Structure 1
Amino acid sequence: MVGSKSLKFATLDVFTSSAFQGNQLAIVNLPGNINLEQDTKQRIAREFNFSETVFIHDPTSDNEDRRVDIFTLTQELPFAGHPVIGTLCHLCQVSDPPLRKVNLSLKAGTLVGRYDPETRLAEAEIPHDVRLHQARAPRDILDCQLNTLPAGNQWPNEFPVVSVVKGMTFVLIAMPDLAALSSLDPLNQKGVHEQDKLDEGWQSSFMAPYYYTITEQTPSLIRIRSRMMEPTVGEDPCTGSAASTLAAYLALEHGQPGRTYAYSIEQGVEMGRAGEIHVKVTLGQSRGIEKLVLAGSAVLMTQGVLYLP
Protein backbone atom coordinates (compact mmCIF):
# COMPACT_ATOMS: atom_id res chain seq x y z
CA MET A 1 0.00 0.00 0.00
CA VAL A 2 1.40 3.41 -0.98
CA GLY A 3 2.04 5.67 2.04
CA SER A 4 0.50 9.07 2.62
CA LYS A 5 3.85 10.87 2.15
CA SER A 6 6.21 10.54 -0.79
CA LEU A 7 9.75 11.88 -0.91
CA LYS A 8 12.10 12.04 -3.87
CA PHE A 9 15.48 10.40 -3.41
CA ALA A 10 18.68 9.75 -5.33
CA THR A 11 21.71 7.57 -4.76
CA LEU A 12 25.23 8.47 -5.87
CA ASP A 13 28.72 7.04 -5.90
CA VAL A 14 30.95 9.74 -4.40
CA PHE A 15 34.65 10.61 -4.78
CA THR A 16 34.68 8.94 -8.19
CA SER A 17 33.75 9.61 -11.80
CA SER A 18 33.04 5.92 -12.47
CA ALA A 19 29.93 3.97 -11.54
CA PHE A 20 30.24 1.27 -8.86
CA GLN A 21 33.32 2.92 -7.35
CA GLY A 22 33.82 5.34 -4.45
CA ASN A 23 31.40 5.64 -1.53
CA GLN A 24 27.64 5.15 -1.81
CA LEU A 25 25.31 7.90 -0.63
CA ALA A 26 21.54 8.29 -0.40
CA ILE A 27 20.01 11.77 -0.65
CA VAL A 28 16.41 12.44 0.42
CA ASN A 29 14.75 15.74 -0.48
CA LEU A 30 12.39 17.27 2.11
CA PRO A 31 9.95 19.84 0.72
CA GLY A 32 9.03 22.75 2.95
CA ASN A 33 5.61 21.29 3.71
CA ILE A 34 7.01 18.04 5.16
CA ASN A 35 8.70 17.91 8.55
CA LEU A 36 10.25 14.62 9.65
CA GLU A 37 11.28 13.75 13.18
CA GLN A 38 14.95 12.90 13.58
CA ASP A 39 13.98 9.38 14.64
CA THR A 40 12.20 8.90 11.32
CA LYS A 41 15.28 10.10 9.45
CA GLN A 42 17.34 7.56 11.36
CA ARG A 43 14.98 4.76 10.32
CA ILE A 44 15.14 5.88 6.69
CA ALA A 45 18.95 5.81 6.87
CA ARG A 46 18.80 2.23 8.13
CA GLU A 47 16.43 1.37 5.26
CA PHE A 48 18.96 2.56 2.65
CA ASN A 49 21.72 0.77 4.60
CA PHE A 50 24.53 2.97 3.25
CA SER A 51 27.25 4.34 5.50
CA GLU A 52 25.49 7.74 5.32
CA THR A 53 22.17 9.18 4.20
CA VAL A 54 21.59 12.91 3.69
CA PHE A 55 18.34 14.84 4.16
CA ILE A 56 18.14 18.15 2.27
CA HIS A 57 15.58 20.66 3.52
CA ASP A 58 14.30 22.96 0.79
CA PRO A 59 15.05 26.64 1.48
CA THR A 60 12.08 28.86 2.31
CA SER A 61 13.59 31.76 0.33
CA ASP A 62 16.01 32.18 -2.57
CA ASN A 63 18.79 33.43 -0.29
CA GLU A 64 18.50 30.87 2.48
CA ASP A 65 21.20 28.26 3.01
CA ARG A 66 20.07 24.69 2.50
CA ARG A 67 19.89 22.78 5.78
CA VAL A 68 21.44 19.32 5.57
CA ASP A 69 21.17 16.52 8.14
CA ILE A 70 23.62 13.60 7.91
CA PHE A 71 22.84 10.17 9.39
CA THR A 72 24.84 6.96 9.66
CA LEU A 73 23.07 3.69 10.41
CA THR A 74 23.17 4.50 14.13
CA GLN A 75 23.54 8.26 14.70
CA GLU A 76 23.48 11.79 13.30
CA LEU A 77 26.82 13.39 12.42
CA PRO A 78 27.78 17.08 12.57
CA PHE A 79 29.90 16.76 9.42
CA ALA A 80 30.98 14.08 6.95
CA GLY A 81 32.94 14.42 3.75
CA HIS A 82 31.34 12.21 1.11
CA PRO A 83 27.79 13.34 2.04
CA VAL A 84 28.86 16.97 1.56
CA ILE A 85 30.54 16.41 -1.81
CA GLY A 86 27.73 14.17 -3.04
CA THR A 87 25.09 16.70 -1.98
CA LEU A 88 26.88 19.56 -3.73
CA CYS A 89 27.28 17.59 -6.95
CA HIS A 90 23.65 16.50 -6.91
CA LEU A 91 22.16 19.92 -6.12
CA CYS A 92 24.21 21.65 -8.78
CA GLN A 93 23.69 18.99 -11.48
CA VAL A 94 19.90 18.75 -11.17
CA SER A 95 19.28 22.51 -10.97
CA ASP A 96 18.05 24.33 -14.05
CA PRO A 97 20.04 26.39 -14.84
CA PRO A 98 22.98 24.53 -13.22
CA LEU A 99 24.20 26.03 -9.96
CA ARG A 100 27.83 26.91 -9.39
CA LYS A 101 27.62 27.88 -5.72
CA VAL A 102 25.58 26.46 -2.82
CA ASN A 103 25.80 27.13 0.90
CA LEU A 104 24.95 24.19 3.16
CA SER A 105 23.96 24.54 6.79
CA LEU A 106 25.35 21.59 8.78
CA LYS A 107 25.34 20.85 12.50
CA ALA A 108 29.06 21.77 12.42
CA GLY A 109 28.37 25.16 10.79
CA THR A 110 27.79 26.75 7.41
CA LEU A 111 29.71 25.36 4.46
CA VAL A 112 30.51 27.25 1.25
CA GLY A 113 30.26 24.89 -1.73
CA ARG A 114 31.21 25.42 -5.39
CA TYR A 115 30.75 23.30 -8.49
CA ASP A 116 32.46 23.35 -11.88
CA PRO A 117 30.09 21.91 -14.53
CA GLU A 118 32.96 21.38 -16.97
CA THR A 119 35.15 19.27 -14.68
CA ARG A 120 32.11 18.04 -12.67
CA LEU A 121 34.16 18.64 -9.55
CA ALA A 122 32.63 20.00 -6.33
CA GLU A 123 34.66 21.68 -3.62
CA ALA A 124 33.63 22.60 -0.10
CA GLU A 125 35.26 25.12 2.17
CA ILE A 126 34.44 23.23 5.32
CA PRO A 127 33.73 24.71 8.78
CA HIS A 128 36.82 23.31 10.51
CA ASP A 129 37.78 23.35 14.16
CA VAL A 130 40.90 21.20 14.07
CA ARG A 131 42.17 19.95 17.41
CA LEU A 132 45.27 17.89 18.16
CA HIS A 133 44.39 16.29 21.48
CA GLN A 134 46.88 15.99 24.30
CA ALA A 135 45.93 12.36 24.83
CA ARG A 136 47.25 9.88 22.28
CA ALA A 137 45.90 6.43 21.44
CA PRO A 138 48.01 3.53 22.80
CA ARG A 139 49.70 1.04 20.49
CA ASP A 140 47.33 -1.74 21.55
CA ILE A 141 44.93 -0.46 18.89
CA LEU A 142 47.14 -2.49 16.52
CA ASP A 143 47.17 -5.67 18.61
CA CYS A 144 44.38 -7.28 16.59
CA GLN A 145 46.25 -6.56 13.34
CA LEU A 146 49.75 -7.73 14.28
CA ASN A 147 49.25 -11.28 12.98
CA THR A 148 48.43 -9.90 9.50
CA LEU A 149 51.11 -7.19 9.31
CA PRO A 150 54.52 -7.94 7.76
CA ALA A 151 57.09 -8.96 10.37
CA GLY A 152 59.97 -6.70 11.35
CA ASN A 153 58.17 -3.35 11.55
CA GLN A 154 58.81 -1.12 14.54
CA TRP A 155 55.64 0.58 15.72
CA PRO A 156 55.43 3.71 17.88
CA ASN A 157 53.98 3.36 21.36
CA GLU A 158 51.12 5.76 20.64
CA PHE A 159 49.32 7.55 17.80
CA PRO A 160 47.95 11.10 17.38
CA VAL A 161 44.27 11.72 18.04
CA VAL A 162 42.85 14.58 15.95
CA SER A 163 39.38 16.14 15.51
CA VAL A 164 38.39 18.06 12.39
CA VAL A 165 35.25 19.41 14.14
CA LYS A 166 33.65 18.59 17.47
CA GLY A 167 32.05 15.20 17.06
CA MET A 168 34.41 13.79 14.40
CA THR A 169 37.72 12.38 15.66
CA PHE A 170 40.28 10.02 14.14
CA VAL A 171 43.35 8.15 15.34
CA LEU A 172 45.95 8.66 12.60
CA ILE A 173 48.14 5.59 12.07
CA ALA A 174 51.03 5.85 9.61
CA MET A 175 51.88 2.56 7.88
CA PRO A 176 55.41 1.94 6.58
CA ASP A 177 54.39 0.94 3.03
CA LEU A 178 51.54 -0.20 0.79
CA ALA A 179 52.16 -3.86 1.65
CA ALA A 180 51.49 -3.18 5.33
CA LEU A 181 48.45 -1.05 4.52
CA SER A 182 47.00 -3.72 2.22
CA SER A 183 47.55 -6.49 4.77
CA LEU A 184 45.19 -4.94 7.34
CA ASP A 185 42.14 -7.08 8.08
CA PRO A 186 38.88 -5.12 8.56
CA LEU A 187 37.30 -8.12 10.30
CA ASN A 188 39.90 -7.90 13.07
CA GLN A 189 39.63 -4.17 13.67
CA LYS A 190 39.53 -3.13 17.31
CA GLY A 191 37.24 -0.30 18.33
CA VAL A 192 38.62 2.96 19.71
CA HIS A 193 37.46 3.78 23.22
CA GLU A 194 39.44 6.91 24.04
CA GLN A 195 36.57 9.43 23.99
CA ASP A 196 36.87 10.09 27.72
CA LYS A 197 40.55 11.03 27.23
CA LEU A 198 39.94 13.78 24.70
CA ASP A 199 40.55 17.39 25.66
CA GLU A 200 37.83 18.81 27.89
CA GLY A 201 34.67 19.65 25.95
CA TRP A 202 35.73 17.57 22.92
CA GLN A 203 34.21 14.19 23.71
CA SER A 204 33.44 12.76 20.30
CA SER A 205 30.27 11.17 18.95
CA PHE A 206 32.32 9.27 16.34
CA MET A 207 35.91 8.07 16.66
CA ALA A 208 37.81 5.66 14.42
CA PRO A 209 41.32 4.71 13.26
CA TYR A 210 42.54 5.99 9.90
CA TYR A 211 45.48 4.11 8.38
CA TYR A 212 47.63 5.75 5.72
CA THR A 213 50.91 5.73 3.86
CA ILE A 214 52.43 8.52 1.78
CA THR A 215 53.12 7.21 -1.72
CA GLU A 216 54.52 10.33 -3.43
CA GLN A 217 55.60 13.75 -2.25
CA THR A 218 56.42 16.76 -4.44
CA PRO A 219 56.43 20.49 -3.65
CA SER A 220 52.98 20.85 -5.26
CA LEU A 221 51.20 17.63 -4.23
CA ILE A 222 51.31 14.88 -1.62
CA ARG A 223 49.75 11.54 -2.64
CA ILE A 224 48.44 9.17 0.02
CA ARG A 225 46.75 5.76 0.13
CA SER A 226 44.45 5.22 3.11
CA ARG A 227 41.95 2.91 4.80
CA MET A 228 39.32 3.54 7.48
CA MET A 229 38.01 0.59 9.50
CA GLU A 230 35.71 0.65 12.50
CA PRO A 231 33.70 -2.26 13.98
CA THR A 232 30.24 -0.64 13.77
CA VAL A 233 30.85 0.72 10.25
CA GLY A 234 33.14 -1.92 8.76
CA GLU A 235 35.55 -0.65 6.12
CA ASP A 236 34.55 2.66 4.56
CA PRO A 237 35.43 3.17 0.87
CA CYS A 238 36.12 6.93 0.97
CA THR A 239 36.08 8.96 4.18
CA GLY A 240 36.22 12.69 3.46
CA SER A 241 36.15 13.75 7.10
CA ALA A 242 39.11 11.48 7.92
CA ALA A 243 41.02 12.65 4.83
CA SER A 244 40.43 16.27 5.85
CA THR A 245 41.63 15.46 9.37
CA LEU A 246 44.79 13.77 8.09
CA ALA A 247 45.62 16.57 5.64
CA ALA A 248 45.14 19.19 8.37
CA TYR A 249 47.38 17.24 10.75
CA LEU A 250 50.18 16.76 8.19
CA ALA A 251 50.09 20.44 7.22
CA LEU A 252 50.23 21.56 10.85
CA GLU A 253 53.04 19.12 11.69
CA HIS A 254 55.25 19.66 8.63
CA GLY A 255 54.05 22.80 6.85
CA GLN A 256 55.14 26.43 6.96
CA PRO A 257 52.87 29.34 7.99
CA GLY A 258 51.15 31.13 5.12
CA ARG A 259 51.51 28.27 2.61
CA THR A 260 48.87 26.06 0.95
CA TYR A 261 49.36 22.30 0.75
CA ALA A 262 47.51 19.95 -1.63
CA TYR A 263 46.76 16.30 -0.92
CA SER A 264 45.34 13.57 -3.16
CA ILE A 265 44.12 10.67 -1.02
CA GLU A 266 43.20 7.36 -2.63
CA GLN A 267 40.94 5.10 -0.56
CA GLY A 268 38.78 2.02 -1.10
CA VAL A 269 41.29 0.20 -3.34
CA GLU A 270 41.47 -2.95 -1.20
CA MET A 271 37.67 -3.36 -1.14
CA GLY A 272 37.17 -2.79 -4.88
CA ARG A 273 35.58 0.68 -4.55
CA ALA A 274 38.50 3.00 -5.25
CA GLY A 275 37.96 6.73 -4.98
CA GLU A 276 40.04 9.90 -4.90
CA ILE A 277 39.68 12.61 -2.27
CA HIS A 278 41.26 16.03 -2.77
CA VAL A 279 42.12 18.30 0.15
CA LYS A 280 43.84 21.70 0.26
CA VAL A 281 45.04 23.16 3.54
CA THR A 282 46.06 26.80 3.89
CA LEU A 283 48.00 27.66 7.03
CA GLY A 284 47.64 31.09 8.61
CA GLN A 285 50.56 33.28 9.46
CA SER A 286 50.12 32.26 13.11
CA ARG A 287 50.44 28.59 12.00
CA GLY A 288 46.81 27.70 12.62
CA ILE A 289 44.61 26.55 9.74
CA GLU A 290 43.15 29.42 7.74
CA LYS A 291 41.24 27.40 5.14
CA LEU A 292 40.38 23.72 4.64
CA VAL A 293 38.91 22.75 1.25
CA LEU A 294 37.59 19.29 0.40
CA ALA A 295 36.91 18.36 -3.24
CA GLY A 296 35.72 15.44 -5.33
CA SER A 297 33.25 14.23 -7.94
CA ALA A 298 30.15 12.04 -7.86
CA VAL A 299 28.11 9.84 -10.20
CA LEU A 300 24.31 9.67 -10.11
CA MET A 301 23.23 6.02 -9.82
CA THR A 302 19.49 5.90 -9.08
CA GLN A 303 16.48 8.17 -8.62
CA GLY A 304 13.12 7.27 -7.15
CA VAL A 305 10.32 7.89 -4.69
CA LEU A 306 10.31 6.88 -1.02
CA TYR A 307 6.87 6.23 0.46
CA LEU A 308 6.19 6.83 4.15
CA PRO A 309 3.13 5.80 6.17
Structure 2
Amino acid sequence: MTTAPDPTLRPLAGVVPAVETLEGGGFRVHRPFPTGRLELLDPFLLLDEMGPTDYRPGEAVGAPDHPHRGFETVTYLLEGEFEHRDSHGGHGVIGPGGVQWMTAGAGVVHSEMPSERIRRHGGRVHGFQIWVNLPAADKMIPPRYQSLTAADLPTVEGDAWRLRLVAGELAGRRGPAATRTPVAVAHLVVEPGGVARLDVPADHNVGLYVFAGGATVPTGAGASTPVGTHELAVWHRAGGGVVVEGPPTADREVEALVLAGAPLGEPVARYGPFVMTTRQELIEAIDDFQAGRMGTIAPTGSA
Protein backbone atom coordinates (compact mmCIF):
# COMPACT_ATOMS: atom_id res chain seq x y z
CA MET A 1 0.00 0.00 0.00
CA THR A 2 1.40 3.40 -1.01
CA THR A 3 0.91 6.33 1.34
CA ALA A 4 -0.04 9.62 -0.33
CA PRO A 5 2.48 12.44 0.21
CA ASP A 6 1.66 15.12 2.76
CA PRO A 7 0.86 18.28 0.75
CA THR A 8 1.81 20.46 3.73
CA LEU A 9 5.43 19.21 3.56
CA ARG A 10 7.95 19.95 0.83
CA PRO A 11 9.27 16.58 -0.48
CA LEU A 12 12.77 15.70 0.71
CA ALA A 13 15.17 14.99 -2.18
CA GLY A 14 17.92 13.45 -0.06
CA VAL A 15 20.65 13.84 2.54
CA VAL A 16 24.24 14.49 1.43
CA PRO A 17 27.27 13.98 3.71
CA ALA A 18 30.01 16.60 3.73
CA VAL A 19 33.56 15.66 2.75
CA GLU A 20 36.53 16.84 4.78
CA THR A 21 39.28 18.67 2.92
CA LEU A 22 41.87 21.44 3.24
CA GLU A 23 41.35 24.92 1.81
CA GLY A 24 43.15 28.26 1.58
CA GLY A 25 46.39 28.27 3.52
CA GLY A 26 45.68 24.77 4.86
CA PHE A 27 42.64 25.12 7.14
CA ARG A 28 40.26 22.19 7.59
CA VAL A 29 36.74 22.40 6.15
CA HIS A 30 33.67 20.18 5.86
CA ARG A 31 32.17 20.62 2.37
CA PRO A 32 28.71 19.30 1.44
CA PHE A 33 29.02 20.81 -2.04
CA PRO A 34 30.49 20.88 -4.59
CA THR A 35 31.32 17.17 -4.28
CA GLY A 36 30.80 14.05 -6.34
CA ARG A 37 27.36 13.71 -4.74
CA LEU A 38 26.15 17.29 -5.27
CA GLU A 39 27.63 19.78 -7.75
CA LEU A 40 25.67 22.84 -6.58
CA LEU A 41 22.44 23.99 -4.98
CA ASP A 42 21.55 26.63 -7.58
CA PRO A 43 22.16 29.55 -7.03
CA PHE A 44 24.60 28.44 -4.29
CA LEU A 45 27.93 27.23 -5.67
CA LEU A 46 29.83 26.20 -2.54
CA LEU A 47 29.36 25.68 1.18
CA ASP A 48 32.34 25.14 3.50
CA GLU A 49 32.21 24.78 7.27
CA MET A 50 35.55 26.08 8.57
CA GLY A 51 36.67 24.33 11.75
CA PRO A 52 36.03 24.47 14.62
CA THR A 53 39.80 24.66 14.99
CA ASP A 54 41.76 25.65 18.08
CA TYR A 55 44.97 27.45 17.11
CA ARG A 56 47.99 27.98 19.28
CA PRO A 57 49.89 31.30 19.00
CA GLY A 58 51.37 31.67 15.52
CA GLU A 59 49.44 28.72 14.02
CA ALA A 60 46.28 30.31 12.56
CA VAL A 61 45.93 30.18 8.78
CA GLY A 62 43.41 31.64 6.37
CA ALA A 63 43.11 32.48 2.68
CA PRO A 64 45.89 34.89 1.56
CA ASP A 65 45.55 37.19 -1.49
CA HIS A 66 43.56 35.52 -4.28
CA PRO A 67 41.16 36.65 -7.05
CA HIS A 68 37.45 36.13 -7.73
CA ARG A 69 35.09 37.01 -10.56
CA GLY A 70 31.45 36.29 -11.36
CA PHE A 71 29.85 35.55 -7.97
CA GLU A 72 29.51 36.61 -4.32
CA THR A 73 31.44 35.25 -1.33
CA VAL A 74 29.91 35.15 2.14
CA THR A 75 31.68 34.51 5.44
CA TYR A 76 29.50 33.89 8.51
CA LEU A 77 31.54 33.51 11.67
CA LEU A 78 30.48 31.59 14.78
CA GLU A 79 33.69 31.86 16.80
CA GLY A 80 36.94 33.79 16.43
CA GLU A 81 37.79 36.86 14.36
CA PHE A 82 38.38 37.23 10.62
CA GLU A 83 39.86 40.15 8.70
CA HIS A 84 38.97 41.00 5.08
CA ARG A 85 41.01 43.18 2.71
CA ASP A 86 40.46 43.65 -1.02
CA SER A 87 41.82 45.46 -4.06
CA HIS A 88 38.88 47.88 -4.17
CA GLY A 89 39.55 49.26 -0.70
CA GLY A 90 37.18 46.99 1.23
CA HIS A 91 38.35 46.23 4.75
CA GLY A 92 36.74 44.88 7.90
CA VAL A 93 37.21 42.65 10.92
CA ILE A 94 34.29 40.54 12.12
CA GLY A 95 33.81 38.61 15.35
CA PRO A 96 31.33 35.93 16.47
CA GLY A 97 28.01 36.29 14.65
CA GLY A 98 29.50 38.67 12.08
CA VAL A 99 29.19 38.52 8.29
CA GLN A 100 31.41 39.57 5.40
CA TRP A 101 29.48 39.66 2.10
CA MET A 102 31.60 40.46 -0.94
CA THR A 103 30.30 40.85 -4.47
CA ALA A 104 33.26 39.95 -6.68
CA GLY A 105 31.47 40.96 -9.87
CA ALA A 106 33.92 42.04 -12.58
CA GLY A 107 36.88 40.99 -10.48
CA VAL A 108 38.60 41.57 -7.17
CA VAL A 109 41.64 40.34 -5.28
CA HIS A 110 41.01 39.78 -1.58
CA SER A 111 42.33 38.05 1.51
CA GLU A 112 40.45 36.53 4.44
CA MET A 113 42.64 35.81 7.42
CA PRO A 114 42.22 35.24 11.14
CA SER A 115 42.67 38.58 12.90
CA GLU A 116 46.06 39.71 14.14
CA ARG A 117 44.94 38.89 17.69
CA ILE A 118 44.10 35.29 16.74
CA ARG A 119 47.32 34.91 14.76
CA ARG A 120 49.42 36.30 17.60
CA HIS A 121 47.71 34.80 20.65
CA GLY A 122 45.78 31.84 19.24
CA GLY A 123 42.11 30.98 19.68
CA ARG A 124 39.22 29.07 18.18
CA VAL A 125 37.92 29.74 14.66
CA HIS A 126 34.60 28.33 13.43
CA GLY A 127 32.42 29.61 10.62
CA PHE A 128 31.17 29.24 7.07
CA GLN A 129 32.19 30.25 3.57
CA ILE A 130 29.35 30.39 1.01
CA TRP A 131 29.54 31.17 -2.69
CA VAL A 132 26.43 32.63 -4.35
CA ASN A 133 26.28 32.73 -8.14
CA LEU A 134 25.50 35.92 -10.02
CA PRO A 135 23.22 35.97 -13.08
CA ALA A 136 25.04 36.26 -16.39
CA ALA A 137 23.82 39.86 -16.70
CA ASP A 138 25.42 40.78 -13.34
CA LYS A 139 28.75 38.98 -13.55
CA MET A 140 30.65 42.11 -14.56
CA ILE A 141 29.10 44.58 -12.11
CA PRO A 142 31.45 46.63 -9.88
CA PRO A 143 32.72 44.84 -6.76
CA ARG A 144 31.16 45.65 -3.39
CA TYR A 145 31.90 44.76 0.23
CA GLN A 146 29.47 44.59 3.18
CA SER A 147 30.43 44.02 6.81
CA LEU A 148 27.75 43.13 9.38
CA THR A 149 28.00 42.51 13.12
CA ALA A 150 25.98 40.07 15.21
CA ALA A 151 23.89 43.01 16.44
CA ASP A 152 22.84 43.74 12.84
CA LEU A 153 21.22 40.31 12.37
CA PRO A 154 17.57 40.01 13.49
CA THR A 155 16.46 36.92 15.41
CA VAL A 156 13.03 35.28 15.21
CA GLU A 157 12.00 33.38 18.36
CA GLY A 158 9.63 30.43 18.01
CA ASP A 159 8.42 27.71 20.38
CA ALA A 160 11.70 25.92 21.25
CA TRP A 161 13.50 27.28 18.16
CA ARG A 162 15.11 30.49 16.96
CA LEU A 163 16.35 31.80 13.64
CA ARG A 164 19.07 34.40 13.01
CA LEU A 165 18.75 35.99 9.57
CA VAL A 166 21.74 36.99 7.46
CA ALA A 167 19.95 37.67 4.16
CA GLY A 168 16.58 37.25 2.51
CA GLU A 169 13.20 36.65 4.13
CA LEU A 170 12.21 33.76 6.39
CA ALA A 171 9.68 33.47 9.23
CA GLY A 172 8.34 36.94 8.46
CA ARG A 173 11.65 38.77 8.94
CA ARG A 174 14.34 39.95 6.53
CA GLY A 175 18.10 39.75 6.94
CA PRO A 176 20.19 42.91 6.43
CA ALA A 177 22.65 41.75 3.74
CA ALA A 178 21.94 43.22 0.29
CA THR A 179 22.05 40.51 -2.39
CA ARG A 180 22.01 40.55 -6.20
CA THR A 181 20.48 37.06 -6.41
CA PRO A 182 17.23 36.29 -4.50
CA VAL A 183 18.53 34.15 -1.62
CA ALA A 184 17.94 33.56 2.08
CA VAL A 185 20.71 32.62 4.50
CA ALA A 186 19.95 31.94 8.17
CA HIS A 187 21.24 30.21 11.31
CA LEU A 188 18.60 27.89 12.81
CA VAL A 189 18.65 26.51 16.36
CA VAL A 190 16.07 23.91 17.44
CA GLU A 191 15.91 22.71 21.05
CA PRO A 192 15.21 19.05 21.96
CA GLY A 193 11.53 18.44 21.26
CA GLY A 194 11.21 21.65 19.26
CA VAL A 195 9.68 21.85 15.78
CA ALA A 196 10.54 24.65 13.34
CA ARG A 197 8.57 25.21 10.14
CA LEU A 198 9.95 27.47 7.42
CA ASP A 199 7.85 28.44 4.41
CA VAL A 200 9.90 29.09 1.27
CA PRO A 201 8.62 30.00 -2.22
CA ALA A 202 7.79 26.80 -4.12
CA ASP A 203 10.20 27.64 -6.96
CA HIS A 204 13.21 28.11 -4.64
CA ASN A 205 15.84 25.50 -3.85
CA VAL A 206 16.30 24.77 -0.14
CA GLY A 207 19.09 23.12 1.82
CA LEU A 208 19.70 22.63 5.54
CA TYR A 209 23.27 21.94 6.71
CA VAL A 210 23.46 20.55 10.26
CA PHE A 211 26.70 21.46 12.03
CA ALA A 212 25.83 20.57 15.63
CA GLY A 213 23.55 17.91 17.04
CA GLY A 214 21.21 15.86 14.90
CA ALA A 215 17.84 16.79 13.40
CA THR A 216 14.94 14.83 12.00
CA VAL A 217 12.94 15.89 8.97
CA PRO A 218 9.34 14.64 8.77
CA THR A 219 8.43 13.18 5.38
CA GLY A 220 4.72 12.44 5.93
CA ALA A 221 2.52 9.68 7.37
CA GLY A 222 4.50 9.71 10.61
CA ALA A 223 7.80 8.95 8.87
CA SER A 224 10.95 11.04 9.21
CA THR A 225 14.54 11.13 8.00
CA PRO A 226 17.51 11.81 10.31
CA VAL A 227 20.03 14.50 9.36
CA GLY A 228 23.25 14.22 11.35
CA THR A 229 26.16 16.53 12.01
CA HIS A 230 28.01 17.49 8.80
CA GLU A 231 25.06 16.44 6.62
CA LEU A 232 23.00 18.51 4.18
CA ALA A 233 19.27 17.92 3.66
CA VAL A 234 18.01 19.00 0.23
CA TRP A 235 14.35 19.40 -0.72
CA HIS A 236 12.62 19.25 -4.09
CA ARG A 237 11.19 22.45 -5.51
CA ALA A 238 7.51 22.14 -4.63
CA GLY A 239 4.84 23.59 -2.39
CA GLY A 240 4.72 22.87 1.32
CA GLY A 241 6.90 23.88 4.21
CA VAL A 242 10.32 22.77 5.38
CA VAL A 243 10.01 21.24 8.86
CA VAL A 244 12.98 20.55 11.15
CA GLU A 245 12.63 18.72 14.46
CA GLY A 246 14.93 18.47 17.46
CA PRO A 247 14.65 14.88 18.73
CA PRO A 248 13.04 14.91 22.22
CA THR A 249 15.72 12.59 23.62
CA ALA A 250 18.66 14.62 22.27
CA ASP A 251 21.21 15.87 24.78
CA ARG A 252 21.75 19.16 22.95
CA GLU A 253 20.05 21.56 20.56
CA VAL A 254 20.33 21.27 16.78
CA GLU A 255 22.23 24.01 14.96
CA ALA A 256 21.98 24.32 11.20
CA LEU A 257 22.55 26.72 8.33
CA VAL A 258 19.54 27.32 6.08
CA LEU A 259 20.17 28.16 2.41
CA ALA A 260 17.28 29.01 0.08
CA GLY A 261 17.25 30.74 -3.27
CA ALA A 262 15.73 31.16 -6.71
CA PRO A 263 17.68 28.96 -9.16
CA LEU A 264 19.28 30.85 -12.03
CA GLY A 265 19.11 27.90 -14.42
CA GLU A 266 22.10 29.22 -16.39
CA PRO A 267 25.27 27.45 -17.57
CA VAL A 268 28.02 27.34 -14.93
CA ALA A 269 31.66 27.42 -16.05
CA ARG A 270 34.08 27.13 -13.12
CA TYR A 271 37.83 27.31 -12.82
CA GLY A 272 39.30 27.76 -9.36
CA PRO A 273 38.24 31.20 -8.07
CA PHE A 274 36.31 32.20 -11.20
CA VAL A 275 32.69 31.32 -12.04
CA MET A 276 31.34 32.44 -15.41
CA THR A 277 28.95 31.03 -18.03
CA THR A 278 31.39 30.08 -20.82
CA ARG A 279 34.94 28.75 -21.17
CA GLN A 280 35.92 31.88 -23.10
CA GLU A 281 34.82 34.07 -20.18
CA LEU A 282 37.01 31.98 -17.87
CA ILE A 283 40.00 32.50 -20.16
CA GLU A 284 39.35 36.26 -20.10
CA ALA A 285 39.12 36.22 -16.29
CA ILE A 286 42.47 34.44 -16.00
CA ASP A 287 44.06 36.86 -18.48
CA ASP A 288 42.69 39.89 -16.63
CA PHE A 289 43.99 38.63 -13.29
CA GLN A 290 47.43 37.78 -14.64
CA ALA A 291 47.64 41.21 -16.29
CA GLY A 292 46.85 42.91 -12.98
CA ARG A 293 43.50 44.30 -14.12
CA MET A 294 41.77 43.06 -10.94
CA GLY A 295 44.11 45.21 -8.86
CA THR A 296 46.20 44.49 -5.80
CA ILE A 297 45.61 44.82 -2.09
CA ALA A 298 47.24 47.92 -0.62
CA PRO A 299 49.88 47.14 2.03
CA THR A 300 48.68 47.44 5.62
CA GLY A 301 49.09 50.99 6.86
CA SER A 302 49.19 52.59 3.39
CA ALA A 303 47.10 55.62 2.63
Q: TM-score range by the shorter chain?
A: under 0.3
Which is richer in helix?
1
Which is richer in strand?
2
TM-score, normalised relative to structure 2: 0.27
